[in-house]
Structure 1
Amino acid sequence: MNRWPLLLGRSVVAAVACVGLGLGLSGCFTERRNEGAQLYATHCASCHGDQGQGLERLIPPVAGADYIAQHRAELPCLIRKGQKGPLVVNGVDYNQVMPGHDDLTDSQITNLLNFVQQNWGNKNKPYTIREASELLQSCNGSDGQ
């Protein structure tokens, strides 16, 4: 009995399964890799601008913002709890309310911050999830996820 057709058939099925699995996995990783940009677009861009430019003297920019580098330890809590009161970004005074985002996990906050840390002229060290979670503990904001 010739087994070539049976072996060939199994090889084709295995190849198709590997390709399908590979496409599925790459899709998952691609979504996770771009999560920071997606979170920024959903939660931040309506105020801070789609390119992080802010809104004149009303809403501070995150693009090329000295505040991002100078207040690294405060940023996770700023995202989680929001901000009200005065702050200075690139020498300009701002005093608006920024809503917090209790709906984001520690991991999502990390990805969002890393997106901001590495885009629009910002060249700051990325956060680890552990670092962001530890910093969130200072404002009782860590969810451990």
Structure 2
Amino acid sequence: MNKECTYDFSHARRGIALLIHNEEYDPTSRFNNRPGDNEDFKHMLEIFKELEFDVHPHRNLKSSDISNRAKEVSEMKDMHKKSDCFVCVIAAHGEEIQEGKSTMTEHVIFGTDGIPIQTREIVEMFDENNCEELVDKPKFFFIQVSS
């Protein structure tokens, strides 16, 4: 196999798996709870532990807490340097919103407080400009939303 087409998975650690699952929403938000997410969360936790990831699980986070937890993980420079890859799994309410008069749409997820956060903001925390320790390493983002 062409070495240029493969990733190095011989680091000391598999990597960090950041899990964010929002099941219970504030009654003042416009969102209903997401029943059944608890089981999904347990399965994700189990799977990533079996795959030897350093799992950072979080449940029922407000919008600001989602940003803060992602930022904290993105700043774990030494951990990322010794890791093969990075995984982020987010399960929450979300939707597409149109940016002003543009034809462009932006994908957002909602914290339990009903406040949106752009998925792009989270992904960018782990790009080459913000997390150079993950350059040339695979970064997987699984974002499952319901409206």
Q: Report the TM-score, using the length of structure 2 for normalisation.
A: 0.28
Q: Which has the higher contact order (CA 8 A, sep 6+)?
A: 2
Q: Which has the greater radius of gyration?
A: 1
Write 1 or 2 for the structure with the bigger share of strand: 2
Q: Report the TM-score, using the length of structure 1 for normalisation.
A: 0.28
